[in-house]
Structure 1
Amino acid sequence: MNPSNQKNSWKHLFTLIRETKPLKVLFGISLGLSLLTTLAGLAIPLLTSKLIDDFSLDSLSRGVIIAMIAAFFIQALAGGVSVYLLAKVGQHVIASLREKLWSKLLTLPVPYYDTHETGDSVSRMTNDTGVIKNLITEHLTGFITGIISVAGAIIVLFYLDWPLTLVMFSIIPLALLFLIPVGKKMAEISRGIQGETASFSANLTRVLSEIRLVKSSNAESIEFHKGKDGIRKLYRLGIKEGIIQSLMSPVVSSMIIIVLVLIIGFGGIRVTSGAMTAGELVAFFIYLFQIIMPITQIIVFFTQFQKTVGATEKVLSILQLKEERLDEGVEVKSLDEALVLEDVSFGYEPDEMVLKEVNIMAEKGKVTAIVGPSGSGKTTLFSLIEQFYRPQHGSIRFGETPISTFSLKTWRSMLGYVSQDSPIYSGSIRDNIAYGLEGEIPEERMIEAARMAFAHDFIKELPDAYDTEVGERGIKLSGGQRQRIAIARALLRDPDILMLDEATSSLDSQSEIVVQEALKNLMKGRTTIVIAHRLSTIVDSDQIIFLEKGKVTGSGNHEELFASHALYRDFAKQQLRIGEREGLQH
């Protein structure tokens, strides 16, 4: 890593720490205690040398003994408190960082998740913050106290005997010639391990979250080999890391032995010549070990820091993304307005438009149905209305006001959405129906919503009724049951704009009839937009929009479209035939 990159790495880490508003007072106290610990530790060898030089039972200095005991006590107490305070500061930093990252992940716009795997985001939240946590809570303490200890010990060594100190440090330039390139290689390998770990974690999340698809597709062998490739890559990088460590370990050990030999040899000469005392030579050895241990901590810190560089950059890259501002914008003042899409064009890719110059007016208190072949952009319309995406051209208005000027929180609170895949999360049925609503929901309101969604009867037959756990993605419920809970959720929100995307697609005919009646009651006085393939769902709609390849090719009520639109007529006839067959089966 060149100096400019090294400087940027430190800058990124400090930027990240600064954003968490660290406990500066505690940090300052801990540094002061670390300094006190170091000073006490530095005093012990000097006091030891004095005892050795003046040693005799008759001449034992009470003052020196008391000073040594006090130094040991101060070193132990101040050191322990300092480590605790630094750990507390570090834990505060990481907790704040994870809160910021969690808040950011929740408020990032939907397009971010279109281009990033869920496992990748999970890795940022867990693995990367874990790496940063290890650096701050485990290694930063040793790094700070190590620097203070080494600096203090070197000053005292020069004071004791500067020629011997210079001889001892003559080995350092030779060691650096080896350690610097090896350190750079270690940094490169560490970044590789970090990247591969994130990739491996993302793949695990992808596979395990869709384990039923894996098993039903007999894809266990394929996924095993993909996972095995990731494991092998991590294995090879781990071996390379082991080789580097195996080279560094004997070099460091050899350095220590050479330094000891130099001190014993040259130090012995200095004692013999009277340039220094035996006690000072003993102190010299103690200071040497006081330098070696902190240097080891400093080296470990820099090794861990190299691992942290990649994690820091990845976390920062997320924190610097533009998020949705849920509270920015005006509140909706009038609810008696039409929802208007005017010349709306949109594409997930700039050169591939999914919707092309779409014009729709969904009036208050009326039902607007949107039909058309698969892939014509029906669900994309709903995503635009929810402001998950912004149109490339045209505008979406509520009355005369563009919906982009409303605060997202206010606007989305007006919407009730039931999709065709009925998202259910792990938890109780009660939690799922009341999801997103703040405060205590009265039992009567929840039961009423469930009744209207034709869900209450099957819920009360479950072992724990509304407190029954549904499992991950609602796996313990049937498709129809999940759909009815999703409808109950929308009913409980009492939305001003109701959006139904194949809302009854998973219901049997009997359930569909009841839910359709419930939905008719809910639709009264609301702006309702329905996407459906079943004719029974839309035949009574006030307005039907036929969407074909992203364009509106027809609009009107059922009779008008049946008479004027060939594709709609074919769609209706096909539905009638399906209805007749279902009637015969029943």
Structure 2
Amino acid sequence: MAMTKSEQPKQKSNWRGFLRLMMSAKPPKLLLSIALGLSVIATLVSLVIPLFTKNVVDNFSISSLNWWQISGMALAFIASAVASGVATYLLNYSGQRVVAGIRDRLWKKLLVLPVRYYDNNQTGDTISRMTNDTAIIKGLIAEHTAGFITGSISIIGSIIVLLYMDWKMTLIMFSIFPIAFLILFPLGMQMYKISKGMQAETANFTSVLNRVLSEIRLVKAANAEPVEYKEGSAGIQTLFKFGLKEGKIQALMSPLIMFVMLMMFVVLFGYGGTRVASGAISAGQLVAFMLYLFQIVMPITQITQFFTQTQKAMGATDTILKVLDHEEEDPHAGLQVKDASQSLHFENVSFGYKEGESVLKDVSFTMESGKVTAIVGPSGSGKTTMFSLLERFYSQQEGNISLGQEKIGHYSLISWRSQIGYVSQESPLIAGTIRDNICYGLQHEVTEEALKRASEMAYADGFIEELPQKYDTEVGERGIKLSGGQRQRIAIARALLRDPKILMLDEATSSLDSKSEVVVQQALQNLMQGRTTLVIAHRLSTVVDADQIVFLDKGVVTGRGTHQELIESHEMYREFATQQLQIQEQLIAVHSPLTPELLPTEQIHS
């Protein structure tokens, strides 16, 4: 009993949610009304046709043929076909419009969902919401709703006419329906469960496809094809099993429906034949009776499909509404940044991705305007998390981050993020041209002169001009057609074009070869000029040049100062510097011509 009560509100909520989702998509109400009206007209016309047939059969002779009746029947057939065709098109158009509206809302929502949402939800599942779930709703509107309405009218109208024509035969016909219901209802429930399972498994399989294909180079480099094939094949086999179960039920349902229909026809023909012979009804009435029987049996299938599709649509609605109702970012809410050339203050900042697990603990330091602050520490100490807090991908649980006297949370996201340039170890590129990537995210027109100037300062113009299509060269998915150094220089050109006041560099040269590093370091020097810069430091060359070094260990600031100050006062930093120095000496032995350009060893030893 408790289960039933708990399910009832959920079902009501589903219907309310479904209607809310439909209304939010702004369906073309006039077109839907016209389509449904035409469907009703076509159904009513089809109810009249058996009566014409009855009169024709009862009065059939060459001399008594009423051409007006025949013409009327022909016109009725044509009108019914035209109305049905137009209604089908309008319903399909309306369904497509509704789905386009839902997808537009979903796409807009996905772009303003916080990063935390994507941390907790697989990309494949999110894609499934946008494609598979919306297609289910479209199917309900465009294909099944009209069938349900017209089928209901057809069944009710046929029953009324049949009761008027011969109530005894009608009652005999109805005696067979409970038998058919007892046979078909359990099969329909099984079909619903299978459909729900297939829907969930399709979303899981989409997630696997998205994960593997988006990282296909990693798969190949790691020789992981057999492992991924095994997982994907398991998903395919699961879908295959669901498909087989669906096929088995359909294989049972179709013959059973046919059996029930044949049983009805045999019983009604037998009983109807005796009534015709006794003169109780005419032959025309028997023929009309059979035609009305068709108009009852066929819509029952449509109505069954409608309820199955409705259950699917309710499930799809739940998953879509979970996305649409999720808390979102408002990129325009807040103040405009008027002066970003101020110092940034971390004041007792604490943060954790999960409750009770702190990544940063009571972090305090100041990034002086126009100067370089380097963050040093072992892996997992919270360096990248600090960048995420500055970008406002997450909000700190305790403490404040301020620009001058104003908390950064008071600024609008779009204004705040426009002040920040971010260059990471693996600077992401989009599939498109070099021009698209350098200008990415800018809302204003970028002149050719500004584009080339940014490329020159990033030392990217040299290799771009050597390419056949120059700035219109396609970079491939994730920039795969370019080298690591070329991708970094494009990312630096992108940052230069934005002219940010705050820079965040996740040691942008750590994954490059020696030759590329020299060029990228020069480009970064151009980028850092006059800007407040925060650097995640993996190499000593970055550290010795910084105006301030902050040492993080397990989310706690354990030291602050210059390179020389920390060498003298901070044991872990001294170990870090010693290890880097040993690595540097090894590099000198292998690449002596390049090393003086890479790292100022005189500064290291000092």
Comparing 54-63 and 422-431, the one that deviates more: 54-63
Residue in structure 2 matched with residue 104 of structure 1 by the alignment = 109
User: How many angstroms apart in 2 are the aligned matches of 1:522 and 1:7?
Assistant: 58
Secondary structure of residue in 2 paired with 1:539: helix
Alpha-carbon distance, 1:128 to partner: 2.0
Partner of 1:225: 230
Q: Distance in 2 between matches of 1:568 and 1:195?
A: 51
- Equivalent pairs counted in the alignment come to 586
**SS of alignment partner, residue 276 of structure 2:** helix
Which letter maps to 2:263? Answer: I
* Contact preservation (8 Å) 1:194, 1:310: no
Q: 2:598 is matched with which residue?
A: none
Q: Aligned residue for 2:338?
A: 333
Q: Does the 8 Å CA contact 2:340/2:419 hold for their aligned counterparts?
A: no
* Match among 249, 262, 268 for residue 267 of structure 2: 262
Report if aligned partners of 2:342, 2:369 keep a CA contact under 8 Å in 1: yes
Identity %: 58
Please state whether the residue corresponding to 2:422 is helix, strand or coil.
strand
Kept in 1, the 8 Å contact 2:488–2:520? The answer is: no
Q: Distance in 1 between matches of 2:235 and 2:83?
A: 46
Amino acid at match of 1:531: I
Query: Counterpart amino acid of 1:503?
Result: A
Distance apart, 1:511 and its partner CA: 4.4
1:543 aligns with 2:545: no
Q: Does 1:402 align with 2:403?
A: no
Q: Is the 8 A contact 1:38 1:152 kept in 2?
A: no
Query: For each residue in 1:448-495, what CA deviation from the matched residue of structure 2 results, as whole angstroms up to 9, or x when unmatched?
Result: 111111211111112211111111111111111111111111111111
Separation in structure 2 between the aligned mates of residue 129 and residue 292 of structure 1, nearest angstrom: 30
Q: Distance in 2 between matches of 1:85 and 1:451?
A: 56
For 2:471 and 2:156, the matched residues in 1 are separated by: 66
Further displaced range: 27-36 or 128-137: 128-137
Alignment of 1:46-445 (within 5 A): 46-445=51-450
C-alpha displacement of 1:125: 1.6
Give the direction of change, closer, same or farther, for the CA distance of 1:524–1:214 in structure 2 (3 Å limit): closer
Measured after TM superposition, the shift of residue 30 of structure 1 is 0.9
Aligned-partner Cα distance in 2 for 1:210–1:517: 31
Give SS of 1:213's match: helix
Q: Which moved more, 1:554-563 or 1:280-289?
A: 554-563
Q: What secondary structure, in the 3-state scheme, does the structure 2 residue paired with 1:528 have?
A: strand
Comparing 242-251 with 186-195, greater Cα deviation is found at: 242-251
CA deviation vs aligned residue, 1:134-188 (integer Å, no higher than 9, x gap): 3322333323322222222222222222221121111111221222222212211
Distance 1:507 1:315 in 2: 43
| Superposed CA offset, 1:95-116 (max 9, x none) | 1111111112221111111122
> Who is 2:471 aligned against?
466
Q: For the residues of structure 1 that align with 2:77 and 2:386, how far apart are their CA atoms?
A: 73
**CA displacement 1:245-277 (0-9 Å, x = unmatched):** 222222211110111122212222332333322
Q: Which amino acid aligns with 1:140?
A: T
Matched-pair contact (CA < 8 Å) for 1:418–1:487? yes
Deviations 1:6-48 (A, max 9, x none): 5554444333222211111111111111111111111111112
Aligned residue in 1 for 2:459? 454
The answer on whether the counterparts of 1:483 and 1:506 sit within 8 Å (CA) in structure 2 is: no
Q: CA offset at residue 501 of structure 1? A: 0.9
Q: Which residue of 1 aligns with 2:488?
A: 483
SS in 2 for 1:195: helix
Give SS of 2:99's match.
helix
| Higher deviation after alignment, 244-253 or 131-140 | 131-140
Give the structure-2-normalised TM-score: 0.92
Deviations along 1:345-402, whole A, 9 cap, x unmatched?
A: 1111222211110012112222212112221111110000111111111111122222
Gaps of 5+ in 1: none
- TM-score normalised over the length of structure 1: 0.95
Q: What letter corresponds to residue 180 of structure 1 in structure 2?
A: F
* Paired AA for residue 272 in structure 2: G
The residue matched to 1:348 in structure 2 has which SS?
coil
1:435 to partner: Cα distance:
0.9
Q: Partners of 1:159 and 1:370 in 2: how far apart?
A: 89
CA apart distance, 1:559: 2.5
Deviation at 1:513, TM superposition (A): 4.1
Distance (whole Å) between structure 2 residues aligned to residue 148 and residue 330 of structure 1: 59
CA-to-aligned-CA distance 1:546-570 (integer Å, 9 cap, x gap):
1111111111222222222222233
Give the Å deviation of 1:545: 1.1
Residue type of the alignment partner of 1:19: S
| Amino acid paired to 1:436 | G
Q: Distance in 2 between matches of 1:162 and 1:328?
A: 69
Which residue identity lines up with residue 92 of structure 2 in the other structure?
A
The DSSP-based 3-state class of the residue aligned with 1:84 is: helix
In the other structure, the counterpart of 1:552 is: 557
Q: Please provide the CA RMSD for this pair.
A: 2.1
For 1:391 and 1:430, how far apart are their aligned partners in 2? 36
Question: Is the Cα–Cα contact under 8 Å of residues 516 and 537 in structure 1 kept in the other structure?
Answer: no
1:326-346 deviation per Cα after TM superposition (whole angstroms, max 9, x unaligned): 112222233342211110111
Unmatched runs of 5 consecutive residues or more in structure 2: 594-606
Aligned residue identity for 1:120: D
Counterpart residue identity of residue 583, structure 2: I
For 2:153, the aligned partner's letter is I
Verify the 8 A CA contact 1:196 1:234 in the aligned structure 2: yes
Q: CA deviation at 1:571?
A: 2.5
Kept in 1: contact 2:136–2:312 (CA 8 A): yes
Paired AA for residue 465 in structure 2: K
The corresponding residue for 1:504 is: 509
CA gap of 1:511–1:234, structure 2 versus 1, over 3 A, is closer
Do the aligned partners of residues 507 and 232 (structure 1) sit closer, same or farther apart at CA in structure 2, a change above 3 Å counting? closer
Partner letter of residue 565 of structure 1?
A: H
SS of residue paired to 1:170: helix
Task: Work out the CA distance in 2 between the residues paired with 1:191 and 1:560.
Answer: 64
The amino acid across from 2:466 in the alignment is E
Please state whether the residue corresponding to 2:369 is helix, strand or coil.
coil
Verify the 8 A CA contact 1:452 1:515 in the aligned structure 2: no
